[in-house]
Amino acid sequence: MLKDYEHNAKYYETDQMGCVHHSNYIRWMEEARVDLMDQMGCGYRAMEEAGVCSPVLEVNCRYKSMVRFGDTVRIHAWIKEYNGIRMTIGYEMRDVSSGELRTRAESAHCFLTLDGRPVSLKRSYPEWDKLFRNMSEMEAGKGE
């Protein structure tokens, strides 16, 4: 069972209104995504050492309630869609102490060689393809 990622909001992440600036949620998504992939056994370091990168194609973030300095958010990240060439990762951020929903988001990615050519994990890295497919199917079975 994979663990959710937790982040404690830092003072420097806040804006003049005393809440976390919206751009930081995107950074937290990346932290959670890197952690998810490490836990799955196909982290970014291993992928890059194998000559594969997974750039961000798109980000969508829906802010539901504010995070303030000192709050800790639990970020549940999961593979929402995966087809061997592209994937979408979903994120749900909740306040650890109250459980209140703070943000729902997703990021879309593809797989490329380090020189920018598309890669099919199914064809070139079947062990990773299987991990991504299993994670995607497992989350689909939960009904998100």
Strand order in the sheet with 5-8: 5-8, 72-82, 86-95, 101-110, 56-63
On whether the CB atoms of residues 95 and 19 are closer than 8 A, the answer is no
Q: What is the DSSP letter of 10?
A: P
Residues identified as active-site: 15
Reported as half-sphere exposure (CB side, CA atoms, 13 A), residue 114 has a value of 8
Provide the total of helices (H) and of strands (E) in the chain, helices listed first. Answer: 4, 7
